[in-house]
């Protein structure tokens, strides 16, 4: 196979149907797209006769040569030979790659469509110059798509390629429903951390159907080139040591105090009042609105969105999706709480729809909910694997489907397994995962930490789990854009759980816990802004190895201040915590109050 240096970053696939092209001339549209920065053009026309195909392809080739851009013909090797263009793109049911290579020669560019891992692997072994992987999203421009991959499926296929030396360097281009609103998410979330990323995206309607193809191509080119707003700022050092992470927590909480970030909560009526009061206590400005139509205006106010799946209805899911898209467009954080995700088939379907709607900066839930989200993302692994390639060993572990989601390990996980569960979802979604329980875990693709603070009373009051999402949203809001959402989530958890420990020591029971909890949240926030972080001295943060889940570091903590004893999660919506409040923690806060 000849060495072909091709820029696949913005790959245009034409569509001459009236529904997409309208009454315009395809060559004029392609000419504008080339001026906008398209790097490859594929001429696809399934209905015209051979004479017309050759005529249009000849005109297109004149245009592409002027811009030093390769022209590929979909399916029709005879047309490519007649025109003398750079190559062809073949589907799974078209001429074999070997026959096309024999006819076109070693210098021709030959791409192959792939809808699962083994189709991709087989094409690489056969000598494909690049892969067109899709469909990523549903699209009206191409009927008969075998299945929709989504970004998780795309990442899975790239991972299969990465594990094989013969495949890992073959360029891959994603196709199917990609446009201005999702292109950055596709590029970002499909990356196999930290080894493999897409070489480009293929678009159809986003350019061909645009009233201004040149402007559409130029904007897509910019989006492909620039990092998305939810990506960590390049050059920013990511702290890993627990002591270094804890040193950043006061800055996050002080920023919440000083900037009063907007926290837009889409949640059920039962918890709205409590979540709003928690937002005020931590310095945020709450808006409790479940109406998706106003999300675009709210997103422009510079806050963050919390989508809590407490109540699931078709109308509600539609509102969630509108809001997620609006906040993604504005480049603002989104926190998703998949409440009760695994309880019913309806809720699993809702999770799937929300995951497909856009980028989620943080996914927060208990162990069962996080496992369900992972299971929903991976439920098509068997389909994505496909049939073993020729010469493949069906008993080779690499060639067998992996177990899925909650079935991937024992039902009773230890802390190392819980850490790995959070990391796996974080890598799949390229986001931060907050997994709550007797021990809380926070993970991103490269890091994992845990802490065991809080109190069992958190599980005895409705709405505490939901309101934690509110605090996380406020912390992420002040860390945007390009900030460290991992540190922000840990800051939110520490403020929330340590405040609960202190409040538990002041109250008489669950009835008096809520006002005490709100008071302590506000006290810790204001004292931090004034430079007093004594309450944080009691924090114990454990760092886990993201590859095996083992604890590799703990911040310095006197031996007498061991983490509270763990107990199973209580019933109700809150996060299950045991632990009696630490007497030392109460003394710190009470001493401060007595001295004021």
Active-site residues, by number, are 466
- d(C-alpha 86, C-alpha 52), whole Å: 19
Name the nearest CA neighbour of 6 among 70, 101, 60, 67: 70
| Residues across the chain | 596
Name the nearest CA neighbour of 348 among 397, 389, 404: 404
- d(C-alpha 52, C-alpha 59), whole Å: 11
Q: 3-state DSSP call for residue 297?
A: helix
Name the nearest CA neighbour of 227 among 278, 165, 184, 168: 184
Q: 3-state DSSP call for residue 365?
A: strand
Q: Using an 8 Å Cβ cutoff, are 459 and 468 in contact?
A: no
Q: 3-state DSSP call for residue 324?
A: helix
- d(C-alpha 577, C-alpha 574), whole Å: 9
Tokens found for residue 121: 């692997």
**What are the CA-CA distances from residue 362 to residues 323, 333, 415, 441, 451 (Å)?**
15, 8, 21, 13, 18
Tokens found for residue 331: 């480049």
Strands (E), 161-301: 172-175, 200-203, 262-266, 285-288
Q: 3-state DSSP call for residue 442?
A: strand
CB-neighbour burial class of residue 143 (10 A; exposed 0-12, middle 13-18, buried 19+):
exposed
- d(C-alpha 68, C-alpha 201), whole Å: 19
- At 103, phi and psi to the nearest 5? -80, -40
Q: Using an 8 Å Cβ cutoff, are 87 and 354 in contact?
A: no
Q: Using an 8 Å Cβ cutoff, are 498 and 512 in contact?
A: no
Q: Which residue has the tokens 């949203």?
A: 473
């Amino acid at each position: 196979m000849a060495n072909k240096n091709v820029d696949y970053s913005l790959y245009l696939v034409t569509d001459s149907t009236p529904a997409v092209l309208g009454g315009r001339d395809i060559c004029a549209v392609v000419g504008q797209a080339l001026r906008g920065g398209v790097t490859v053009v594929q001429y696809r026309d399934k209905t015209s006769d051979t004479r017309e195909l050759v005529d249009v392809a000849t005109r297109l080739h004149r245009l592409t040569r002027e811009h030093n851009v390769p022209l590929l013909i979909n399916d029709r090797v005879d047309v490519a030979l007649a025109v003398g263009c750079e190559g062809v793109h073949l589907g799974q049911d078209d001429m074999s790659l070997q026959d096309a290579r024999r006819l076109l020669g070693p210098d021709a560019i030959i791409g192959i469509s792939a809808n699962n891992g083994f189709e991709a692997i087989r094409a690489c072994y056969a000598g494909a110059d690049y892969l067109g992987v899709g469909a990523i999203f549903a699209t009206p421009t191409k009927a008969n798509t075998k299945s929709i991959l989504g970004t998780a499926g795309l990442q899975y296929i790239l991972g299969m390629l990465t594990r094989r030396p013969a495949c890992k360097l073959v360029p891959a281009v994603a196709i199917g429903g990609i446009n201005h609103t999702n292109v950055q998410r596709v590029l970002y979330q499909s990356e196999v951390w930290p080894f493999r990323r897409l070489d480009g995206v293929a678009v159809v309607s986003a350019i061909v159907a645009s009233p201004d193809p040149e402007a559409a191509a130029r904007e897509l080119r910019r989006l492909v080139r620039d990092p998305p707003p939810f990506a960590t700022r390049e050059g920013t050092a990511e702290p890993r040591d627990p002591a270094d992470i804890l040193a950043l927590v006061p800055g996050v909480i002080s920023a919440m105090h000083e900037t009063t970030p907007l926290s837009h909560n889409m949640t059920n009526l039962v918890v709205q009042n409590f979540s709003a009061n928690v937002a005020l206590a931590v310095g945020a400005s709450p808006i409790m609105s479940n109406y998706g139509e106003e999300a675009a205006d709210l997103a422009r106010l510079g806050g963050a969105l919390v989508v809590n799946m407490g109540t699931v209805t078709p109308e509600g899911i539609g509102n969630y999706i509108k809001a997620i898209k609006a906040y993604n467009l504005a480049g603002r954080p989104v926190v998703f709480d998949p409440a009760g995700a695994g309880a019913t088939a309806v809720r699993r379907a809702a999770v799937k729809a929300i995951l497909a709607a856009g980028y989620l900066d943080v996914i927060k839930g208990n162990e069962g909910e996080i496992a369900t989200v992972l299971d929903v993302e991976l439920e098509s692994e068997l389909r994505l694997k496909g049939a073993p390639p020729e010469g493949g060993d069906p008993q080779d572990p690499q060639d067998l489907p992996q177990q899925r989601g909650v079935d991937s390990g024992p039902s009773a996980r230890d802390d190392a397994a819980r850490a790995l569960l959070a990391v796996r979802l974080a890598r799949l979604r390229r986001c931060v995962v907050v997994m709550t329980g007797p021990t809380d875990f926070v993970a991103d693709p490269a890091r994992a930490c845990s802490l065991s603070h809080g109190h069992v009373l958190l599980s005895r009051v409705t709405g505490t789990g939901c309101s934690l999402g509110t605090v996380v949203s406020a912390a992420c809001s002040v860390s945007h854009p390009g900030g460290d959402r991992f540190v922000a989530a840990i800051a939110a958890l520490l403020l929330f759980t340590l405040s609960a420990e202190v409040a538990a020591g002041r109250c008489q029971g669950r009835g008096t816990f809520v006002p005490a909890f709100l008071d302590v949240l506000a006290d810790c926030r204001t004292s931090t802004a004034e430079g007093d972080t004594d309450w944080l001295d009691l924090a114990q943060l454990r760092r886990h190895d993201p590859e095996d889940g083992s604890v590799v570091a703990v911040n310095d903590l006197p031996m007498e201040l061991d983490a509270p004893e763990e107990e199973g999660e209580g019933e109700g919506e809150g996060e299950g915590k045991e632990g009696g409040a630490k007497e030392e923690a109460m003394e710190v806060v009470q001493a401060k109050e007595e001295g004021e």
